[in-house]
Amino acid sequence: MKYWLMKSEPDVFGINDLMKRPKKTEHWDGIRNYQARNMIRDEMQKGDQAFFYHSNAKQIGIVGIMSICREAYPDYTAFDPDSKYYDPKSNPDNPRWFMVDVKHVRKFKNIITLDTLKQHADQLGDIALLKRGNRLSINPVTKKQWDYILKLEQ
C-alpha cells in the first residue's frame, strides 16, 4: 500500500464537501499536470491512503484522511466544453487526463498546519510537500512520513 497527499482548495472542494457526498466518495477531477497524472495513473492503487490537504486557504494544512476507492480512469471533465477543466486535446479515444475516486476515511479533530509540518521538517526528511517551489497537487508520502505526521495530530 502506498501513501499520498492530495491538495485541494477548500473554497472549491474541501473535506467537508467530501463528507457530504453520497457514500462519502467523489472523483478527484481536474488534474492537469503530467507528473501528477503519471502518479495517479501509474502508481495509485485501490486501498492506498491519502492525506487531504487544504491549499490556498485561511488554514493551510492536512485536514484528514482519504482512501483510493477506484483506480485511474479518464477524466471526463476534459471532454466537456462547458467544464473549466475542458481540454480540447483530450478525447475519449485518446484521453490525456485521468482521475481516481476517493473515499473519506476521517477528519482530524485539528488541522495539522503547514507551519507545524515545517517545524518538523528535519524528521520528515525530504518530503515532497516541503520542497522549494513544489506545486504538485499530488505528492508521494513515505510510510515513515505518514506515521510521523499522524503522531502530530493532537
Partner DNA sequence: GCCAACGTTGGC
* H-state helical runs in the chain: 10-13, 15-20, 34-38, 114-119, 121-124, 143-151
Give me the least distance between CB of 23 and DNA, in Å please: 26
| Contacts to DNA by CB under 7 A | 7, 9, 32-35, 55-57, 60, 89, 114-115, 132-137
Distances (CA, A) of 36 to 43, 151, 152: 10, 27, 26
**Residue placing its CB nearer to DNA in the complex, 34 or 47:** 34
**Residue placing its CB nearer to DNA in the complex, 1 or 145:** 145
Give me the least distance between CB of 132 and DNA, in Å please: 5
Distances (CA, A) of 84 to 25, 78, 105, 131: 21, 8, 28, 29
**Residue placing its CB nearer to DNA in the complex, 10 or 74:** 10
Give me the least distance between CB of 139 and DNA, in Å please: 9
The alpha carbon of residue 77 and the mean position of all alpha carbons in its chain are separated, in whole angstroms, by 17
**Residue placing its CB nearer to DNA in the complex, 72 or 136:** 136
